[in-house]
Amino acid sequence: MTDKTVVRTEAAPAPFQGAPYSQAIAAGGFAFVSGQLGLKPGDTAISGGIEEQTERVFANLKAILEEAGTSLERLVKTTVFLQNLDDFQAMNGVYSRHVGEQPPARSTVEVAQLPSGALVEVEAIAIL
C-alpha cells in the first residue's frame, strides 16, 4: 500500500465541527482535498453570496494545496456541490479565474443542503 500523508494548514478551516477527516491526504503522487466551504479559518458562520463564497473556497483550496506542495494550476479533477444550480453561472465565473488555461475535469451537482447554509462546496484532486 502506498504511504499517505495528512496535509494540515492553519490557513484554511479545520475539519468541520471536528469531524473525522483531514483537510487533504497526499498519496500516490496526488493531493486529495476534502470539500471546502466558503468559511474563513477560525470562523463558525458562512457569509456572502455565491461569488464571495466561491472566492473563499478557492482561497482555502489554494492554502491546502500549497501546504501539500502543489497548486491550483495542477488540479486534475474537481467536484462542485451547489445548493442551487441557478448559481452555476456566478460560481463558474469565479471558478474560471482560478483554474487557469487548462482547467481540470469537473462534475457539478445540486444538493439539497450543505453545512452551515453554504451555497457551494468544492473538493479537488491535484498532481503533486
Residue 14, pLDDT > 80, answer yes
pLDDT of residue 37: 96
DSSP E strands, the chain? 4-7, 24-27, 30-36, 75-82, 105-110, 120-127
Per-residue burial over 80-112, b = 16 or more CB atoms within 10 Å of its CB, e = otherwise = bbbbeeebbebbeebbeebbeeeebeeebeeee
Q: What is the pTM of this model?
A: 0.95
Beta-carbon count within 10 A of 37 CB:
22
Please say whether the dihedral angle defined by the alpha carbons of residues 34, 117, 99 and 109, taken in this order, is positive or negative: positive
How many independent structural domains does the chain possess? Answer: 1
User: Structural domain of residue 102, as residue ranges?
Assistant: 4-127
Write out pLDDT tens, residues 65-117: 999 999 999 999 999 999 999 999 999 999 999 998 999 999 999 999 999 89
- With a CB cutoff of 8 Å and minimum separation 6, the contacts of 112 are none
Determine the pLDDT at residue 42: 86
Query: Which CATH number fits the domain that encloses residue 118?
Result: 3.30.1330.40
- Report the chain's terminal Cα–Cα distance, integer Å: 18
Q: For the chain, what percent of residues have pLDDT higher than 70?
A: 98
